[in-house]
Amino acid sequence: MYRRRSGGSGGTLFWAIMLGVVAGIVFFINDQQAQETPPSGGASSSPTMITPDATPTLDLALLELPTSTPQVAPHVQLIIPRANVATVVIPAPLANTGSWDIRLLGRNAGHLEGTAWIERPGNIVLAGHVEQSDGQPGIFARVSELSFADEVILMVGDQRRVYAVQEVFTTTPTDLTVLYPTPNDQITLITCDSYDFLSNTYLERVVAIALRIA
């Protein structure tokens, strides 16, 4: 014989009903929250990066370069008695880098392309080395010794064109004003000066300007 627990089935039924009610409330709340949550990929999606069709470019106006210099005839000679110069004048072409190629001058004088010449007088610019690669004096080694009224002579065939030195000075390698066109019929002689051993460059340029007198 066993003793039955009083109220056992009634209590179980009560708790079963209560659990069902709570579960229903929880399901209802979750369902409402799901309806209020906006779907993914809606208005809050990340903005799209706009890429231009082509890379913008800066339209630069083309600079008008000087007209090409005619080829210098082999019989054109430069004579500077005071500086012990008697040499041939050869072309010094303007390279794509924007500077003149004087690597092949040797002991010649180079006519800088773009500057004046015999057929169109103005500022005829001639460059020469102050020192050769082997350490020997260059053709313009003594240009710095020129003085006022010293003669600079261009021999063009049988024609003798005489110039007189007006000034001799030093300037920086970036000074391009000495290359500018002039209304005067003149010769500008340029060479290097002030060699710097550490940088292996010349820090200055020697410039001699001579006006035509005959």
**Domain total for the chain?**
1
Stated length of the chain:
214
Q: Is 162 within a domain?
A: yes
Instruction: Tell me the whole-structure pTM to 2 decimals.
Output: 0.66
The mean of the pLDDT values for the chain is 76
The 10s digit of each residue's pLDDT in 65-118 is: 334 444 555 589 999 999 999 999 999 998 887 788 888 899 999 999 999 998
Q: Is 68 within a domain?
A: no
Radius of gyration of the chain (CA): 45
Stronger pLDDT, 119 or 74, i.e. the higher one: 119
Cβ atoms of 161 and 212 closer than 8 Å = yes
Q: Is 86 within a domain?
A: yes
pLDDT at position 114: 93
- The structure tokens listed for 193 are 């000066």
Closest CA to 122 of 186, 212, 209: 186
Cβ atoms of 147 and 90 closer than 8 Å = no
Stronger pLDDT, 34 or 125, i.e. the higher one: 125
Least confident range from 22-36, 38-52, 156-170, 195-209: namely 38-52
Cα(96)–Cα(104) distance, integer angstroms: 17
Cα(14)–Cα(9) distance, integer angstroms: 9
Percent of the chain with pLDDT over 90: 57
How far the first Cα of the chain sits from its last, in Å, is 155
CATH code of 95's domain: 2.40.260.10
Stronger pLDDT, 58 or 211, i.e. the higher one: 211
Identify the domain containing residue 103 by its residue range: 77-212
Q: Is 102 within a domain?
A: yes
